[in-house]
Structure 1
């Protein structure tokens, strides 16, 4: 049982789980999803912690040696800190790594009337960083919606940040001919609120969805359904924000960033098309040439995290000192 569980890697940014080394003919045991997630964190050398900051009860993972440069990794829509576990295991030997569950997502708790707007999420993330004393000299990375939060964070707190890593990052782009930018209400299709939604979302989010044993898939889908009320509130805020902001107003925030930036994108991304990577590079003053991942969809941190390891470690070696 322990050997099998150690080979199961869950992620819930889109509630996605992947299996390494388990064939479709092997039967998966009955699994407690929280136990599996905890084993995955341990495998990545991450420890679960909690802290109350104002009205938010934050859950976060921490790993690596305190005193080394700090990385903060920010997950995407409907996600959790566990999206990053597969990449984090390559980072903790060299860096101090912090991965929070964003407010109302994963295991972080908020009041019913919490404001899910991106500016508020960014400001709350800053208060979290201050509370755990990692706000100075921070290297921040974000995936999807987490990328837009990470970008806003660096734009608002430039003195205290050293670098930025954007993976298939959300934004308001001129070149992105993706459904949610043409019609923001299509974001509602990403909500897992009933049985069957999980399978549909997997096909959108990944180019080649992995095989997942039914027991594990059902457990993950139930978890996402239980969190769908908060996810729905966040989606509605994103729809509002997409109507308020324009490519020009988004560009103002991006152009204000002087820090070195690494951009990575799956060329088969069906949610935010790959052309956005070049547009981002053109807006950011100190961005490297984007890393384009062939045959990968919207979830590189789950589909093929190994392709991100060397570029990110090389980037950090230059800028996270």
Structure 2
């Protein structure tokens, strides 16, 4: 009996679906190695996860397995971030237009023809560029502290960055280098959370060595400047929301000082089918509310007929 039970257990183990296991892959886009995490059945509805600053697809490491049983989940690292290529600023134009172009080509390379779009922080200006250019590819939006309104950047945090937009001088650039320090990185992950002991130091242990690579500060300063190209596009993004009405889930950390709730509420002006949640945490919502966000996504996409 024991042997029979053992063999039966082995047989059952062999029948386990391994499609939900996260794969760590790289694809070539315009001569760059673009690293990405991928999991879930290839024929399932796709969720494209677009990360923020200063992290990478690493921010989705816990969310992906919570979705991959029902969804095909794909999370790339942008050039200059995570495990993707990081050419020097002299060799690559670090603008949000260019990052969006790379991500668009990435989606085509990996066969993501339609997707629900999860945007956070830097992922929002990249994702909205994709959505405006190819609205037919976007099944739904999931917005987590991702800004598309002037109200979202009308706060103290953005004042030195706006000064840099107005006058791109070495002095104004140097004033922003404090944003690239270990203390600033820790602050982004821990400010506004309910329980700092719930936030893994693996976050800044992953991010800070990448920020500290030779030349990476110049990459980030170039993108700080390029962020100034986004507010002039807000009216176009808002028009996209009004005209195409993508079903949208807002899951926003309400204690975020970078993108406070002032940037979340305006989505209600332009969207008819919107689920709105302010969560009691900070900028990187998934660190403290990952299970809740996964639950919200599954319920929300289920209502849209996406499994």
TM-score of the pair, normalised by structure 1 = 0.74
What does residue range 174-193 of structure 1 map to in structure 2 within 5 Å? 174=151, 177-185=154-162, 188=176, 191-193=179-181
How many residues align structurally? 273
CA distance in 1: counterparts of 2:229 and 2:178, whole angstroms: 17
1:167 counterpart (144, 162, 182) = 144
Please list every run of at least 4 consecutive aligned residues from structure 1 whose deviation after the TM superposition is greater than 4 angstroms.
Answer: 180-183, 203-208, 211-220
1:63-116, Cα deviation, whole Å (9 max, x unpaired): 111111111100001211010111112101111111100121111114333222
1:289 counterpart (264, 268, 275) = 275
Residue 290 of structure 1 aligns to a residue whose secondary structure is strand
Mark the CA change 1:79 to 1:151 in structure 2 (over 3 Å): closer, same or farther.
same
Mark the CA change 1:190 to 1:100 in structure 2 (over 3 Å): closer, same or farther.
farther
**1:124 equivalenced with 2:102 (yes/no):** yes
**1:298 equivalenced with 2:283 (yes/no):** yes
- Rg larger in 1 or in 2? 2
Residue 34 of structure 2 aligns to a residue whose secondary structure is strand
TM-score of the pair, normalised by structure 2 = 0.78
1:193-244, Cα deviation, whole Å (9 max, x unpaired): 4x54434444547464336788985675333322434223222211x325x6
What does residue range 1-321 of structure 1 map to in structure 2 within 5 Å? 45-112=21-88, 113-134=91-112, 136-174=113-151, 177-185=154-162, 188=176, 191-193=179-181, 196-204=183-191, 206=193, 208-210=195-197, 220-226=207-213, 227-238=216-227, 240-241=228-229, 245=232, 248-284=235-271, 286-293=272-279, 295-319=280-304, 320=306
Shift, 1:292, TM fit: 1.2
Q: Contact 1:151–1:164 (CA<8 Å) still a contact in 2?
A: no
Residue 79 of structure 1 aligns to a residue whose secondary structure is coil
Unaligned runs of 5+ in 2: 1-17, 165-175
Question: Aligned-residue CA RMSD in angstroms?
Answer: 2.9
Q: Contact 1:155–1:256 (CA<8 Å) still a contact in 2?
A: no
Mark the CA change 1:121 to 1:66 in structure 2 (over 3 Å): closer, same or farther.
same
CA distance in 2: counterparts of 1:190 and 1:94, whole angstroms: 41
Residue 141 of structure 1 aligns to a residue whose secondary structure is strand
CA distance in 2: counterparts of 1:184 and 1:311, whole angstroms: 33
